Structure 1
Amino acid sequence: MKILLLANNIGGLISFRFEVVKAIIEQGHSITISAPFDKRMEELETLGAKCIATKIDRRSTNPVKDFMLICHYVNLIKKEKPNIVLSYTIKPNVYGGMACRLCGIPQIVNITGLGTAVENPSMLQRIVFVLYKFGLKNVKRVFFQNEENKRFCEKHKLTPDCGYLIPGSGVNLKHFQVKEYPNDDIVKFIFISRIMKQKGIEQYLDTAIAIRKEYPNTEFHILGYCEDAYQEKLKELNDNGTIIYHGMTSDVRPFISNVHCTIHPTYYPEGMSNVLLESCASGRPIITTNRSGCKEIVDDGINGFIVEQQNSEDLIAKVCRFLDLSFEEKKRMGLAARKKVEKQFDRNIIVKAYLEAIDSVGR
């Protein structure tokens, strides 16, 4: 079969869906990938995929730009003549869905997270609801990454009754292997994310400031793209030794290997946190919030701790609780984290789900 895959980012596609693309090609299908231009497209082309550069403004609400994207998808479908369209993230899902309806092509979508525009009541939410209902009306299968997203869409009738639950994007257990647990006097924590308010950066910084005063033998590392609102604060805290900011990286593994625990205090509407899956696969305990997309990955007190959203005091308390553990107890938490992802979040689970869906929908 001919498969057309719509995405809004090549980096994310390679990091989290490379194995799906590879398996589709190995099954004898051809695949064309539509996404914004990125030099890493060469990695997918080497695999055997065809890549087409598509301009997508992920944050724009400009109706003219969005209409042009729909037209582009329609023209692309007519040119490529795919048997099935796969899509990820909101605009490829919804506008790709509209194009698939117009062209009569079956579509498989992945709800990677609903986003604030969908979850928070507002005029924008009502507009997005209409777009979802219209764009996804005829999809043949919907993959949800957590149960809460699935229930929300079913309650508001945003998607047809063809939803399946998968464990996020899963994690490549060969790429992320258990690393030796650090045995030194300095206990190191890390925050890995785009640095924005809803990812919990303020709670993390509050915690770093409080803990460093009481436990000078700690380090608080930060990894990720920094939005303008936090650049000055991060520079100040980095300069005075409260945090260590590393900027961005294409490979998080050396940073995770160097720390004792990953802290992910997000309250952003996620599908399933890849940061937590990768940390667990590396044998590191996690501290994260009690929201969908995060709480499914942590067994409280076994492989990490759950904290209340937007609650710095609770996060500080859980970090103190972690610091009170012995080296062996911390290490056992990390090994329990690895066992959990091996059992529940292996990326091969997602690969099998996609191959089955393609076979079923393409009949």
Structure 2
Amino acid sequence: MGNVGKLIALFTNHDDDVYCFRKELIEGLIDEGYELLISCPNGEKLELMKDIRFKYIDTQIDRRGTNVITDFKLFVNYYKLLKKHRPDVILTYTAKPNIYAGIAASVLKIPYISNVTGLGSVIKKKGFTKRFILYLFKKSFKKSSCVFFQNQENMKLAKESNLVTGKCELIPGSGVNITRFPLQPFPSNEEKIVFNYIGRVLKDKGIDDYIEAAKIIKKKYEYTEFNIIGFIEPTEMSYKKVLQELQEESIINYHGSQRDVKPFIKRSHCTIHPSTYGEGMSNVLLESASSGRPIITTDVSGCKETVEDGITGYVYKAGEMEDLVSKIELFIKLNNEERKKMGALGRSRVKNSFSRDIVVNAYVKEIDNLLKGSSSG
């Protein structure tokens, strides 16, 4: 195999990102004969990948921090790491690895492929901070061999802002492993109608709207259940007390971070994803739809693309809690066969348009082309 001895380095900001979104890509590249080096902060999800052969480097990242000195240290760390290991191709994901690993790779003249997992949080910033971050993105994307975008809106915005002037492609998010998330039997509604929020507990993810909607719905429909599955973002630990009180009042069931969300999806009727800022492409929604669960989400980029409104779920206006409540009520008033059909149509849509195989194949093709180009040059 011509790729033996070729090293691919993957940079991201969380072990969750590696296991949940990149595992099949890593396995696919290893099957192609490449060696893999992974750089991210250590975490328990890497334990679930111990049977896969790869080099690992623990790299601490303050994901949401804006300290210039801390970020410069991250750049220096990436530079030293790349200079030492000299990978043949680098894959970068999430904001800080995209920026700092990308710039380090361009300085060292190592080819790299960027992946924009969402520009929403950047767009919401103002003034100098926003201009500076956009400048860094532009600098990192300038020498990128290819920038993958996860939704049309982000790609259009990046082109119009001149963030990207070279090659870029649209892929269906990180895709979803339709085998790992098979069609699940739809639950009956004899006892309860179960709703899930799956994701980080974070204001930008619309957690406040989910909580308020749960309070209103629980008063009108006692036979509903609202779950929250996910860790509280370290910068927003005030939610710890809030969720504890809501649990005591039987409004919310908080389950914390879970290694496997499939059992929670299985017993649910619907996933609600109330994100108020644009994402790359919501994996939570793709995994839920792949499992045959209808979804209710917002009209922001990275969320709305995962739903056929009124057919596989419902789309509502981001930040409009009353609109969210009305969509939940619409769902409650369906009979269970209608809900089941909605979920089955969502599964078919994901299989056809959002399979992770599409993403893996796009990467394998781009890497092969890059290496063929460098060897012929």
* TM-score for the superposition, normalised by structure 2: 0.93
Counterpart in 2 of 1:159? 164
User: Cα–Cα, structure 1 residues 351 and 236, in superposed 2: closer, same or farther, change >3 Å?
Assistant: same
Given residue 112 of structure 1, which amino acid in structure 2 is its aligned partner?
Answer: T
Deviates more, 1:64-73 or 1:256-265: 64-73
Q: Secondary structure at the match of 2:271?
A: strand
Counterpart in 1 of 2:36? 31
Q: Check whether the contact 1:44–1:50 (CA below 8 A) recurs between aligned residues.
A: no
Given residue 87 of structure 1, which amino acid in structure 2 is its aligned partner?
Answer: T
- Distance in 2, Cα, partners of 1:289 & 1:200: 9
Residues 165-176 of structure 1: matches in 2 within 5 Å?
165-176=170-181
User: Cα–Cα, structure 1 residues 338 and 138, in superposed 2: closer, same or farther, change >3 Å?
Assistant: same
- Distance in 2, Cα, partners of 1:164 & 1:121: 28
Shift of 1:195: 1.4
Q: Check whether the contact 2:189–2:336 (CA below 8 A) recurs between aligned residues.
A: no
> Residue 306 in 1 paired to residue 315 in 2?
yes
> Residue 90 in 1 paired to residue 99 in 2?
no
Q: Secondary structure at the match of 2:258?
A: coil
Shift of 1:233: 2.3
Counterpart in 2 of 1:208? 214
Deviates more, 1:92-101 or 1:227-236: 227-236
Given residue 213 of structure 1, which amino acid in structure 2 is its aligned partner?
Answer: K
4+ long deviations beyond 6 Å: none
Given residue 152 of structure 2, which amino acid in structure 1 is its aligned partner?
Answer: E
Counterpart in 1 of 2:3? none
Q: Secondary structure at the match of 1:348?
A: helix
Given residue 304 of structure 1, which amino acid in structure 2 is its aligned partner?
Answer: G
Q: Check whether the contact 1:41–1:51 (CA below 8 A) recurs between aligned residues.
A: no
- Distance in 2, Cα, partners of 1:285 & 1:125: 36
Q: CA RMSD in A?
A: 1.4
Shift of 1:216: 1.2
Deviation string, structure 1 residues 249-282 (Cα, Å, up to 9, x no partner): 1111000111111111111331100110111011
User: Cα–Cα, structure 1 residues 38 and 241, in superposed 2: closer, same or farther, change >3 Å?
Assistant: closer
Shift of 1:27: 0.4
Shift of 1:44: 4.3
User: Cα–Cα, structure 1 residues 127 and 284, in superposed 2: closer, same or farther, change >3 Å?
Assistant: same
User: Cα–Cα, structure 1 residues 126 and 218, in superposed 2: closer, same or farther, change >3 Å?
Assistant: same
Question: Sequence identity, in percent?
Answer: 43
Deviates more, 1:216-225 or 1:331-340: 216-225
Q: Check whether the contact 1:118–1:128 (CA below 8 A) recurs between aligned residues.
A: no
Picking from 258, 261, 274, the partner of 2:283 is 274
Counterpart in 1 of 2:359? 350
Q: Secondary structure at the match of 1:46?
A: coil
Given residue 336 of structure 2, which amino acid in structure 1 is its aligned partner?
Answer: F
Q: Check whether the contact 1:101–1:138 (CA below 8 A) recurs between aligned residues.
A: yes
* TM-score for the superposition, normalised by structure 1: 0.96
Picking from 337, 341, 358, the partner of 2:346 is 337
- Distance in 2, Cα, partners of 1:41 & 1:239: 34
- Distance in 2, Cα, partners of 1:177 & 1:202: 30
Q: Secondary structure at the match of 1:362?
A: helix
Ranges in structure 1 where 5+ consecutive residues have no aligned partner: none
Q: Secondary structure at the match of 2:37?
A: strand
- Distance in 2, Cα, partners of 1:233 & 1:65: 31
Picking from 187, 203, 210, the partner of 1:197 is 203
- Distance in 2, Cα, partners of 1:84 & 1:247: 36
Picking from 261, 280, 293, the partner of 1:284 is 293
Q: Check whether the contact 2:141–2:147 (CA below 8 A) recurs between aligned residues.
A: no
- Distance in 1, Cα, partners of 2:252 & 2:305: 28
Given residue 210 of structure 1, which amino acid in structure 2 is its aligned partner?
Answer: I
Q: Check whether the contact 1:94–1:135 (CA below 8 A) recurs between aligned residues.
A: yes
Picking from 110, 117, 121, the partner of 2:115 is 110
Shift of 1:119: 4.2
Paired residues, number? 363
Q: Check whether the contact 2:278–2:303 (CA below 8 A) recurs between aligned residues.
A: no
- Distance in 1, Cα, partners of 2:112 & 2:14: 19
Ranges in structure 2 where 5+ consecutive residues have no aligned partner: 1-5, 373-377
User: Cα–Cα, structure 1 residues 94 and 264, in superposed 2: closer, same or farther, change >3 Å?
Assistant: same
Picking from 159, 178, 181, the partner of 2:183 is 178
Picking from 13, 16, 41, the partner of 1:11 is 16
- Distance in 2, Cα, partners of 1:129 & 1:249: 34
